[in-house]
Amino acid sequence: SSSSSTTTTTTTNPLPLMLIDLGLADFYLPRTRYNVRVASRHYKSPELLIGYEYYDYAIDLWGVGCILAGLLLRREPVFRGKDNLDQLSKIVSVLGTEELVVYDG
């Protein structure tokens, strides 16, 4: 008598791999103007959304925060604005305006 065994393998669809373009990467120098046309809208920091050109590493931390929040909330992207103003509005509706300063631009 012979016995046979069956192995069942279940595969799930892996998450897509997203690659980024570092073509606009630059070294940070204080009091230096930088291009605000960087990053995808859904990951842009408020500084970039209002056109503030003297930003620093905080914009990178904002983007990482958006990615982590998306993973935790299972919603990617977290903020889904249709343009920069709508994107800023969606951010403010969740986080509030307490930390915003008057922008004279």
CA distance 35 to 71: 28
Give the closest residue to 45 by CA, choosing from 102, 5, 100, 98: 100
User: Global pTM?
Assistant: 0.73
Q: Which amino acid is at 88?
A: L
Looking at residue 97, its pLDDT comes to 82
Q: Which amino acid is at 42?
A: H
Domains in the chain: boundaries: 41-95
CB atoms within 10 A of CB 21: 7
pLDDT tens sequence across 19-69: 667 777 888 999 999 999 988 999 999 999 999 999 999 999 999 999 999
CA distance 100 to 47: 10
